[in-house]
Amino acid sequence: MSVRTQGVRTHRAASPWLFLLPGLAVVAVFVLYPFLSTVQHAFTDARTLTPGVWVGLRNFEEMLHDPQFWTALRNSSLYAVVVVPSTVLLPLLIALLVEKPLKGVVFFRAAFYTPVVASVVVVALIWVWMLDDRGLLNSMLETVGAGPVSFLGDAWLVLLCAMALTVWKGLGYYMIIYLAALAQVPKELHEAAAVDGAGPFRRFTTVTVPAVRSTMVLVGALSSVAAFKVFSEVYLLAGPTGGPAGEDSTLVMLVQRSGTGLSGRVGYASALSLVIFCIALLLMLLVLRADRKEKTA
């Protein structure tokens, strides 16, 4: 008996690490190494087929003088400013609608979730057909005597359409997260507020929102990171040039454009990736800090 106890004690410290080892190995190879490699490349002039030499901060200096970088930064920031509040609020409202045990509500839950499982490429192509000069939307506009509107020919409209696509596609995903959070809100709180004379809006602001605030913070953090990483929607709607005159380029599109191909500027693309990483990290920290402050207040 004492021998067995001794054996367990001996391995107690190592056991968790042994269990973690396969996962850690995957993370080390597919996350840690690429991450460190990207950081390293950011300070070199490496290209796709030629290893670079150390150039210090030159890539970052070049970025400051690159008008495409500022356009991309503006677009990614705008994306975050528009998409994040939308993906924090709209899915919550939808979740409130579909959480009620009404007849046929399952259909609506499934309908809202469908875009999440659909391929972004397929969805974007459908949107392209819809938004085309002779697409569904313009046909509808023409029947009421308006339009045509060049949704895909105007840089601002392309960006707005891409934002709408991102929000629409993400609604179902965040709705599910909110549904899980709403299920945890005690019904008694709503009943008590109703007894005190609070109407639906008042109950939403004083009971629902505080109860799901942590989830809202989580959704905010996730969607802000996703907004800065946006690529597919803008690429598919605006095309590989980043829309008319490249005015719709986002930071990740810039990484793709400068870092891929046989002559890709890997060093510069890595520096851009590092900047995206820092911005996203900063955003997450800000959101989490704001949440912590409110909790302690």
Footprint on this chain of other proteins (rule: CB under 8 A)? 27, 31-41, 43-54, 133-134, 150, 152-153, 158, 225, 229, 238-246, 248, 255, 257-266, 269-270, 273-274, 276-277, 280-281, 284
In the complex with other proteins, which residue's Cβ is closer, 5 or 119? 119
Residue nearer to other proteins on the CB measure, 48 or 214: 48
CB of 260 to other proteins, least distance (A): 6
DSSP β-bridge partners for residue 195: none
Which C-beta is closer to other proteins: that of 98 or that of 264? Answer: 264
- Considering the complex, what minimum distance in angstroms separates the CB of residue 273 from other proteins? 5
8 Å CB contact between 269 and 37: no
Q: Which one, 74 or 190, has the nearer CB to other proteins? A: 74
Kindly tell me which of 20 and 27 has the beta carbon lying closer to other proteins. 27
Residue 276 C-beta: closest distance to other proteins, Å: 7
Q: Closest distance between other proteins and the C-beta of residue 37, in Å?
A: 6
Burial category of 22 from C-beta neighbours within 10 Å (exposed 0-12, middle 13-18, buried 19 and up): exposed
Minimum CB separation of residue 255 from other proteins in Å reads 7
User: Is 175 or 275 the residue whose CB approaches other proteins more closely?
Assistant: 275
Nearest distance in Å: CB 145, other proteins = 16
